[in-house]
Chain A
Amino acid sequence: MIKIQIDGTFYEVKGDRNLLETCLALGFDIPYFCNHPSLGSVGACRLCAVKKFADADDKKGRVVMSCMEAVTEGMRISVNDPAVKTFRAAVIEGLMTNHPHDCPICDEGGECHLQDMTVMTGHNYRKFVFKKRTYNNQNLGPFVQHEMNRCIQCYRCVRFYRDYAGGKDLNVFGSANHVYFGRHKDGILESEFSGNLVEVCPTGVFTDKPLKKHYARKWDMTNAPSVCMHCGLGCNIIVSERYGSVRRVMSRYNGSVNGYFICDRGRFGYEFINNPDRIKKIQFRPSKNNNLQEAREVSETGLSEIFKSGKVVGIGSPRASLESNFALSALVGKNNFFHGISGKEQKLIQKAVSILESGIAHSPSLKEIEKCDAVLILGEDVTNTAPMMALSLRQASRNKTLGIAAKLGIPKWNDNAVREMDQDTKSPFFIASSFSTKLDELADEIYNAAPGDIARFGYSIASAINSGAPVLIHPDEKLQNRVRKIADALSAAENPLIVTCITSGNEDILNASANIAIALSTAGKKPSIAIAFPECNSVGLSMLDGGSLDEAADTISKNGADTLIILENDLYGRLSLKNADSIFEKCRQIIVLDHLMNETAKRADILLPASTFADSVGTIVNNEGRAQRFYNVIQVAEPVKESWRWISDMVKISEKNNDYTWDKFDNVVASLVSSYPVFSGIKEKMVSADFRFFNEKIARQNKRFSGRTAMNANISVSEPKPPQDNDSPLNFSMEGYKGDPPSSLIPYYWSPGWNSSQSMTKYMDEPEGHLKEGGDPGIIIFSNKNKSSVDYFKNFPDPFKAKPGELLIVPVYMIFGSEELSSKGETIAERISEPFILFNEKEITKLQLIENEKSKFIINQVVITAIVKHDNKIPDGVAGLSVLTAGMQYTDLPDLGKVLST
């Protein structure tokens, strides 16, 4: 600890951060723009001036930029010295000379860091009489709105976009007073993280374009802490609502998961909630069930008949909460509950979870991934399947540079200096993939091969690390040298990381990754294995008992089923058309609970409107084994109900087991925990609906929330009672605890004088640290068993050999389009590509295909039409087919296929 003196008072600080962040952590309000805890500081804005004194006798002192100042023992500074206050007001006045008179129509207004800082420094009247500089704006695509006139040249956007997120197409142009931040010409921002510009920009240059279509001010929105549903990483988000519709998603800080950022799929994927195709009514198919009419009572009679007499089979879903899945399994019984994923996927996920639980490797959080010093990616294109993991891997690749910088005495926060010193130094980074990926630019070695060969590559790395591992030596000397190089680099690292995959559908790759981890831990290292699970609750679902969809189909075809209940799942996206149809044909009655109309919902005899993550409470488990809770932001409106509540109603009607009738969310959690003790942490450590903070609930609305007595006045002038929430400790009103709430219940970020999302800092123990009041949210439920129980995997797959006329088709996942729910949002839909298939150029010529034109292919009797594109990293005899949930029939990949001659 270091002792420093600020305005006459002594403080003990850690000293690893710059002076500005140290002061912010101590609670001082020093205005700043360009400093960002994750991006470091460059001293561009000159706002964070403080006075530094040479020693105890120095009366004069000198003005320094606190963000560029290291904290040293015995340092004496002044934050509130009149000279620096005047200096800061003058800097703001200078920045404001060109800032337009826009606030009323600026989407940043009310949560603008520039507004906050201007008020904080006390500048109010404009003295500058000359003209304002203007710029032409660019169309940056459907996600981000560009308004360059508002720019204050803090360089945060390019530092995030280029330096942090590895984007290429945003840069700074011009010089002096004509500096311009944008693309070289109009066009869609290519980075998967472009939406973060909205939060990174301290003013309104980059604003949220989908929000613009249904704009509401920050103070007017009802907010709730939530968890992203669009991949397996479980990034924390804040969902905001106004007038009954979801308006936007912002990142919610979690120092162990996503930090300050989220990807574009997470930020803009929410629009499916507002889709006109939402199921909002109970629907019956009258022709088949004449006894069922639209009246609720009649349906209950009908349902009770079914539950009393017949056999009921339930199919769960990896995109539904743990509680909803458990409720269904409780209703139908464990033997009749199926996971709603294919047998192959289930086996892979269970294998992956067992590897993570076995203790042979650590299951790292995204923040821990950032600290790894060597990375090997086996078969996964993380940029598309789990984008935020790719962002963490990009940071991991800088650790070697940071290590060198630390030796030279350059602290991490001194971003420009570190990058100048850096040039091209990168941590060891290796990729084995069937096609080119965006992270290839970071890699020292790239091995492109068919999935089976990638597994063989992994096995050979394991055997090169530790002679105890099953031996696999490539006959090709060059390849074997590369294997040795990777093995040496991984062995030399302290915290090597293996990123392995489920999406490529190859179990051998998982086994090979486990072998490498075992080999490394035998060598005394602490290896980590990170896996991008395909859906938000894949891990949680795998921890419940139940068979796969294939087993469900078997059971139904053998024994038949009177009723099939499908929970938030589109079987046509998981089974071939024939298999899915056969399941539906064998069942007398089909009950579907879902949010959006899809092929499965169309087959339903009874279609029940289920609430989305925005209007229900639930728990999901992410790739790390972290159980996290999402809270409702919209009061669920009848007849829409949470899936578990629908199922509870069914239990009541069936009169089967009254232990499983729940009227509150916490009761479902209690039943879940009593059936599956592995989840006991959820009940013990997560707050229940009865939780009160200083005897108060937490308010979802800001104190400035407006329109309370007018928003419903068109319906009735008498104001309704605010909706009651029995399922969460949050309130649907402005009433509630006024200070910082517990970390897992932060509905929005606000602090006096800090209206923008920069107020996040006030909720942390230090910038980029952990949240106060309970630490980073989430509970790890993986139990680490004994290491020795796991042996090396020995069954090597055969090397891949291309057969003439036959192609191995591997899946190519896309950030936009491969995930079901986000694809139904109108903005994301604009970014979804048409189905495409990738070959190397030689192969295209050989197969007599024409690039950029549509061709037909046949895979397992399914005809696919896709645009032919080239990717020269794809090996001969292999093709990469895009995985899209809409506009493409489902086929199980990887599989053999061929060109359909016309």
Chain B
Amino acid sequence: MLSILRSIWYTFLHAFHKRETQGYPEKLPYLPPRYRGRIILSRDSDGNERCVACNLCAAVCPVDCIALQAANDENGRRYPEFFRINFSRCIYCGFCEEACPTYAIQLIPDFEMGEYDRQNMVYEKEHLLISGEGKYHGYNFYNVAGVDMGVKGTGKGENEEAPVDLKNLIH
């Protein structure tokens, strides 16, 4: 009998505690910038796609929910012909972001991905690609890579010497 009354008392006291209930969706919660939510593909500072279709994100993905195909533009620059993420399989682990050598793939603080139809959870490149640089600014992979793919000439990258002149015996 006494314990029942005590329980009623404690329950009553909760009426004066700080409210835990969130006013979602009227009031949106604060999520830190490094929250692992929806995946996007970003662009570099020149506005080009950052993704070089290296397949590392797909390889590291524990649920194998990323599929892409590499293609080359007229300068030889590599980009994904298609880039597909099956979000109905994604576990938002963020391994893809860690594996990405170009900062192209990033997880953003957005989790509102509810769909009535599971097929709508399949995102193609046009759904993933944003127009900005996302969380990481100022990095362009092709400026540090050794290849000439229309972004910079051979030997013009950061930390590179001018191309070797084979006809010159003095070095």
Residues of A within 8 A of B (CB): 99-105, 109-110, 131-137, 147, 149-150, 173-178, 180, 212-217, 219-220, 242-243, 704-711, 713-714, 716-718
Q: A706: which of B55, B147, B159 is its contact (CB, 8 Å)?
A: B55
Instruction: Say whether B124 contacts A132, CB under 8 Å.
Output: no
Instruction: Say whether B147 contacts A219, CB under 8 Å.
Output: no
Instruction: Say whether B70 contacts A102, CB under 8 Å.
Output: no
Question: B47 interface residue, CB < 8 Å from A?
Answer: no
Across-interface contacts of A708 in B (CB, < 8 A):
64
Instruction: Say whether A178 contacts B101, CB under 8 Å.
Output: no
With A132-B146, A132-B159 as given contacts, are A178 and B166 in contact (CB-CB < 8 Å)? yes
CA distance A133 to B141 in the complex (A): 18
Question: B169 interface residue, CB < 8 Å from A?
Answer: yes
Segment with Cβ contacts to A, from B3-11, B20-28, B29-37, B82-90: B82-90
| Interface members, chain B 95-128 (any A CB < 8 Å) | 101-102, 118-119, 121-122, 124
Give B131-171 as 1s and 0s: 1 = Cβ < 8 Å from A's Cβ atoms.
00000000001001111110000110001111110100101
Question: B63 interface residue, CB < 8 Å from A?
Answer: yes
Instruction: Say whether B146 contacts A174, CB under 8 Å.
Output: no
Across-interface contacts of B88 in A (CB, < 8 A):
717
Across-interface contacts of A136 in B (CB, < 8 A):
154, 163-164
Across-interface contacts of B70 in A (CB, < 8 A):
215-216
Across-interface contacts of B147 in A (CB, < 8 A):
100, 102, 105, 147, 149
What's the minimum C-beta distance from B40 to chain A, rounded to whole angstroms? 16
Instruction: Say whether A707 contacts B102, CB under 8 Å.
Output: no
Across-interface contacts of B66 in A (CB, < 8 A):
706-707, 710
With A100-B145, A101-B146, A709-B89 as given contacts, are A174 and B67 in contact (CB-CB < 8 Å)? no
Across-interface contacts of A131 in B (CB, < 8 A):
159-161
With A709-B65, A710-B67, A716-B119 as given contacts, are A173 and B166 in contact (CB-CB < 8 Å)? yes
Across-interface contacts of A137 in B (CB, < 8 A):
148, 154
Listed by A's residue number, 22 A-B pairs whose Cβ atoms lie within 8 Å are: A102-B145, A104-B54, A110-B55, A131-B161, A132-B160, A132-B161, A134-B164, A136-B164, A150-B146, A174-B164, A219-B59, A220-B58, A706-B58, A706-B59, A707-B64, A709-B89, A710-B67, A710-B84, A717-B86, A717-B121, A717-B122, A718-B118
Beyond contacts A105-B149, A174-B166: 20 other A-B pairs, Cβ-Cβ < 8 A, are A101-B144, A103-B101, A105-B54, A105-B145, A132-B159, A132-B161, A135-B164, A147-B147, A149-B147, A150-B146, A174-B164, A177-B171, A180-B164, A216-B69, A242-B69, A705-B64, A707-B64, A709-B64, A710-B65, A710-B89
Question: B48 interface residue, CB < 8 Å from A?
Answer: no
Question: B61 interface residue, CB < 8 Å from A?
Answer: yes
CA distance A243 to B89 in the complex (A): 20
CA distance A109 to B53 in the complex (A): 12
Closest residue on chain A to residue B169 by CB atoms:
A175
Across-interface contacts of A175 in B (CB, < 8 A):
169
Across-interface contacts of B45 in A (CB, < 8 A):
none
Question: B68 interface residue, CB < 8 Å from A?
Answer: yes
CA distance A212 to B58 in the complex (A): 19
Residues of B within 8 A of A (CB): 52-56, 58-59, 61, 63-70, 72, 78, 84-86, 88-89, 101-102, 118-119, 121-122, 124, 141, 144-149, 154-155, 159-164, 166, 169, 171
Across-interface contacts of A214 in B (CB, < 8 A):
69
Across-interface contacts of A716 in B (CB, < 8 A):
119
CA distance A135 to B58 in the complex (A): 32
What's the minimum C-beta distance from B150 to chain A, rounded to whole angstroms? 12
Across-interface contacts of A149 in B (CB, < 8 A):
146-147, 154
Most central of B55, B63, B124, B148 by chain A CB within 10 Å: B55
Most central of A109, A704, A713, A716 by chain B CB within 10 Å: A713
Most central of A147, A176, A714, A716 by chain B CB within 10 Å: A714
What's the minimum C-beta distance from A45 to chain B, rounded to whole angstroms? 20
CA distance A853 to B92 in the complex (A): 67
CA distance A32 to B52 in the complex (A): 30
Across-interface contacts of B163 in A (CB, < 8 A):
134-136
With A131-B160, A710-B64, A717-B88 as given contacts, are A104 and B146 in contact (CB-CB < 8 Å)? no
Q: A212: which of B61, B72, B145, B161 is its contact (CB, 8 Å)?
A: B72
Across-interface contacts of B78 in A (CB, < 8 A):
105, 215
CA distance A102 to B160 in the complex (A): 13
Which secondary structure dominates chain A's binding surface? loop
Across-interface contacts of A99 in B (CB, < 8 A):
146
Closest residue on chain A to residue B162 by CB atoms:
A134
Across-interface contacts of A710 in B (CB, < 8 A):
58, 64-67, 84-86, 89, 122
Across-interface contacts of B65 in A (CB, < 8 A):
707, 709-710
Instruction: Say whether A243 contacts B69, CB under 8 Å.
Output: yes
CA distance A136 to B164 in the complex (A): 7
Closest residue on chain A to residue B58 by CB atoms:
A706
Across-interface contacts of A176 in B (CB, < 8 A):
171
Most central of A99, A133, A173 by chain B CB within 10 Å: A133
Q: A714: which of B53, B63, B84 is its contact (CB, 8 Å)?
A: B84
What's the minimum C-beta distance from B162 to chain A, rounded to whole angstroms? 7
Closest residue on chain A to residue B120 by CB atoms:
A717
With A174-B164, A177-B171, A220-B58 as given contacts, are A104 and B101 in contact (CB-CB < 8 Å)? yes
Task: Name the 6 nearest CB pairs between A and B, nearest first.
Answer: A100-B146, A707-B67, A104-B54, A710-B67, A706-B58, A134-B155
What's the minimum C-beta distance from B141 to chain A, rounded to whole angstroms? 7
Across-interface contacts of B89 in A (CB, < 8 A):
709-710
What's the minimum C-beta distance from B131 to chain A, rounded to whole angstroms? 22
Q: B145: which of A101, A243, A705 is its contact (CB, 8 Å)?
A: A101
CA distance A99 to B70 in the complex (A): 23
Instruction: Say whether B161 contacts A133, CB under 8 Å.
Output: yes
What's the minimum C-beta distance from B7 to chain A, rounded to whole angstroms? 48
Q: A104: which of B56, B64, B67, B86 is its contact (CB, 8 Å)?
A: B56
Instruction: Say whether A706 contacts B61, CB under 8 Å.
Output: yes
What's the minimum C-beta distance from A692 to chain B, rounded to whole angstroms? 26
Across-interface contacts of B144 in A (CB, < 8 A):
101
Q: B54: which of A109, A180, A213, A219 is its contact (CB, 8 Å)?
A: A109
Across-interface contacts of A109 in B (CB, < 8 A):
54
CA distance A339 to B149 in the complex (A): 52
Across-interface contacts of A147 in B (CB, < 8 A):
146-147
CA distance A180 to B59 in the complex (A): 34
CA distance A306 to B84 in the complex (A): 50
With A134-B155, A180-B166, A212-B72 as given contacts, are A706 and B64 in contact (CB-CB < 8 Å)? yes
Instruction: Say whether B164 contacts A133, CB under 8 Å.
Output: yes
CA distance A147 to B149 in the complex (A): 11
What's the minimum C-beta distance from B112 to chain A, rounded to whole angstroms? 19
Across-interface contacts of A714 in B (CB, < 8 A):
84, 122, 124
CA distance A216 to B58 in the complex (A): 12
CA distance A714 to B88 in the complex (A): 12
Across-interface contacts of A707 in B (CB, < 8 A):
58, 64-68
Closest residue on chain A to residue B171 by CB atoms:
A178
Closest residue on chain A to residue B64 by CB atoms:
A708
Most central of B52, B69, B124 by chain A CB within 10 Å: B69
Across-interface contacts of B145 in A (CB, < 8 A):
100-102, 104-105
Instruction: Say whether A717 contacts B161, CB under 8 Å.
Output: no
Closest residue on chain B to residue A184 by CB atoms:
B166
With A104-B101, A175-B169, A711-B67 as given contacts, are A134 and B58 in contact (CB-CB < 8 Å)? no
Across-interface contacts of B119 in A (CB, < 8 A):
716-717
CA distance A706 to B85 in the complex (A): 12
CA distance A242 to B102 in the complex (A): 24
CA distance A149 to B101 in the complex (A): 19
CA distance A173 to B147 in the complex (A): 21
What's the minimum C-beta distance from B145 to chain A, rounded to whole angstroms? 5
Instruction: Say whether A709 contacts B164, CB under 8 Å.
Output: no
What's the minimum C-beta distance from B170 to chain A, rounded to whole angstroms? 10
Instruction: Say whether B149 contacts A713, CB under 8 Å.
Output: no
Instruction: Say whether A213 contacts B72, CB under 8 Å.
Output: yes
What's the minimum C-beta distance from B146 to chain A, rounded to whole angstroms? 2
With A135-B164, A177-B171 as given contacts, are A713 and B67 in contact (CB-CB < 8 Å)? yes
With A175-B169, A178-B164, A717-B122 as given contacts, are A134 and B54 in contact (CB-CB < 8 Å)? no
